[in-house]
Structure formats: C-alpha cells, structure tokens
Structure 1
Amino acid sequence: MGTSAVDAFLLTIGDDVSFVHQEERFVFVKAGDDLSLQCSYEPDVGTRFYWYKQILGQKLRLISSFYKYNSDYTFYGEFNNNPRFKLDTENHKNHLNISDLHISDSGTYYCASSFAYNFDIGEGTTVSVEESLVLVYFLSGALGFTTILIVLLSFSVYKMKSKNNIQFSESQSRYPANTEVSSAADSLHYAALNIRAPNASRRQTNATDTDCVYSSMKK
C-alpha cells in the first residue's frame, strides 16, 4: 500500500536536511500591504513544488502546486481564482506572492517539493498580519506607561498610609487613653427650689407658684 503525498509531507516535517529553502521564519506585516514568500530549490531535486498553509489548531491546506518542466501552476480551494495569490516560478524559484493582505492571511506557510513518493519541506514562514503596526506599537507603549503609573500610585498610597500610622502612634503616646477629658469633669448638677409666696390668698395657696432655680456645682 503506497504512502500518500500528504502523509509523506507530514512525516518529513522537522527533518534537518532540506532541498527547498525559505528565506524568512517570521514576518510581521500590515493589512493591505503586499508580501512575497521566498522559496528556492536545488536544480536537480524535485519535479513538483507546493505551498501549504497551516493555522494553529487546524489541518494543513494545500495552496498551490507546479511542475517545473513547464512552469504551469495551479491553486486549490479558497485560493483558486483568487487574484491576490500568484506564483513566481522562474529560475529555480517557487515564490508565493500575496497582495492586499488580510487578517485571515495570518498563518504558517510551508514550501515543499516532491519526486515520486519523496517529499521535502522548507523551514516554514510564520506570517502575522496586523490592522496597523503603528497602533500595535502605540497600544504596547500605552500599556507599559499605565503599568508604571499604577506602580507609582500604589507606592504613593503606601507611603501616605505609613505616614498617617506614624502620626497616629505619636498622638497615642502623647495623650494616653486613660487621661480624663477636662470637659467631662465639669459636670453640672441642677437643683429645683420651690418658693411659696407668703401673702398669697387662700385661693392662691391651693395653686402653688413654683419658680425653678438652677444652680450649677463644679467639682
């Protein structure tokens, strides 16, 4: 039972020896820009050449293939009839050109070659497409500044609390808790005196005129 091309491709991922060479391992680009993924191969190695794309957590997807003796190439699936994707196959090259980059173009791209059932694969190029690199740098700087500001504010609050605790301790030592407040010692005692008028009439004697006199006594 023969081994399929894709199975052979999967078995060769991570091999140290490769006859196809990808120029870059990581690429960061802005949406809307153009990108050329570079891949070259040895003249006497391989007859068919491919590009694959892999998104983290998903299976490999075949992008393109071409036969080096006539330079005809074919795109597959979602990449077929998509004018943003083109191949440059001149002079032992298998360059994948992508124009007007989209966020969905992010992923890892592998250049590969085959001869019979033998597959060879490049190192892979990981492409990250951002809305705006300027915005990314700005947000990263703002995040760093905010972090520093939070640390400084936290330190200031800590210093203020420490200062208040020291002042409170000094106040406690200067005025002990068992010291009586002088105003509490100045208590008022009130007495009410009833004074009856001496020449009051009989009728008036039944009704007592009472004057309330208050005096204060100080200990």
Structure 2
Amino acid sequence: MASLMESPSHFQLLDVGESVTLPCVCDIGAVLFFWYKQTLGQKPKLMSSYYSYSNNGTFLNEYENNSRFSLDTGRDKNHLKISDLQISDSATYFCIETNMFDLKFCQSTTVNVKGSGLKVHQSASESIQPGGSVTLNCTVHTGTCDGPHSVYWFKDSEESHPGLIYTHGGRNHQCERKPSTQTHTCVYNLPMKSLDLSHAGTYYCAVASCGHILFGNKTTLNFEGDECSPVLVYFLSGALAFTSILVLFLTFTVRQMKQRQSAGNCYSVKRLIRMYFIFDQLCQDAESLHYAAIRDHGGNKSRRQRKDTLDECVYSSVRPQT
C-alpha cells in the first residue's frame, strides 16, 4: 500500500549546463529505494533502484550507462545527481522507499531548466458558415527542447467553461528539423466539418514539453450572421417601444370600460331598489282604498244614455286620519 508523501517537495530553477543533487532521506528500515521521473503530460518512468544491503544503485532504461546521472547512497539515503543539465531534464523527480510491504513517497523535486525557446503559434481568427468546414493550425517551434511534446486543444465559449476537446499525444513525427539548427518545427491540424452554431468560440493550442506547458495565441471562430446590423437594432428597438405604448393604451382603455360598466350596473341596481320601494308603498296604500260607485237615477234619460252612465265609475280613497 502506498502512503502519502511526508517530506515537503522542492523546486529547482536551473540553467542549461548546470548540475543539481536531488536529496532523498527516508525512514530507518527501508529495504529498497527507487527514483521516478515524470515529464509534464507523461507517465512516471523508473530511473533507478537501490538495495540498502548493497553498495551501489542501478540505473534502468535510457538512463543506464549515462554518465550524467549518478547515485549517492548510504544508510537510509538515496541522493540523485544530474550533471550538465539539458532541457529534457525538466521534470518532477520522485524518491520512493519500500519495506517489502508498502510504498512511501519520501521526496519530490521539480526541476525546471531554462532556455528551451519553445514557441507556439496558431492560425488567425475567421468567420464560419453553416455546413461549412475549417481547419485550425498549431505551429510549434521546439527551440533547444529536445524532449518529446504533446499538443492539446481547448475550447472556450460563452455557453461553457474552457475544456479539453482533442489531444495529439506525442506525435513528433509531424516535426521537421531546420538545417544547421537544433530547432524543430511541428505543425498540428484540427479539422472540423459540418459546422453549426455550437462550433463558434475561442480555441487554444497548448504544448507540454520539457517540463513546460505553453499556450498559443487564441483562434476565434465567429458564426456568420450572428451579429445584428445597426438598422435591425433600431428597428427592433422601435418595435419594442411601440408595443410597450400599445400595451399601456390597451390597459388604460380596458380599465375605463370596466369603470363605466361598474357605474352602469350601480345605476341599474339603484333604479330597481327605487322601483321596489315605490311598488311597496303602493301596495300599502291599496289596503286603505275605498271604492264607491255613483249611479245617476235620472229617469228621463234614454236606455243608451243610462248604459253609458252605468259604465262610468268614480273611485275615491279615504285615508284614515292618524
């Protein structure tokens, strides 16, 4: 089982050609010691092993028989020495111990060798059309950096945070060395087809090499027709203002109609109430009405005249005195 690193890490900023000693002091009782090198963007690689009951350590892989690397070993120590530093030595170095049951990270040191001359350039920004295609270019100038490198593409847009969308890995076969120089020029392409609005945004090319990670200048893809012309802006502003005024006018008109309707309803109710009281008063007065028929007993009138007289009635009401 591996345990967390207990000793603090160190950082070394050095120039090409200098020498450095990376210390490693572990607990008493360790049996085996290891040194690992991890270059930025790559997996850790085993460099050396040291058995505490032997006198010397052993280098492995490409570090074997390399006079620039050596070990200073002893009781519970395993120091790594690197001489004549090169750009490719830029990395993080881990010292690990084991007692045959678990692993422990004793020490870590990050070495950054200056003077790589690494440069990254991207293609210019451009406009894209629906259904079209575009190819983004990333040109890497390695300078004196002789180590492998990896290329990554990032996208940044208003809808989402920057994120990794593609990596070229360590495809150094796309590089060409310039005559009489150590500089490599590498060109990486990112083709995109069947473009739509989701492809709009800002793209960054990042290169990880020799302990460095460097971003290129951005490349922005603008979707044609995405920007509004001033005439369209003025037209939409005017339409919005007209719509707002119309809404206010309609609101005022509806409110006035409701008020008038409410007033008319109130007048009708008052009229009905007034008629009710008048009718009720008439009903009360009807109880005190007295009817009397006045007959004319004149005997000299003809039969027709007498009939007409009989049909004429006079009504009178007598209201009792209160």
TM-score by structure 1 length?
Answer: 0.49
The structure whose RCO (Cα within 8 Å, separation 6+) is larger is: 1
| Structure number having the greater helix percentage | 1
TM-score by structure 2 length?
Answer: 0.34
| Structure number having the greater strand percentage | 2
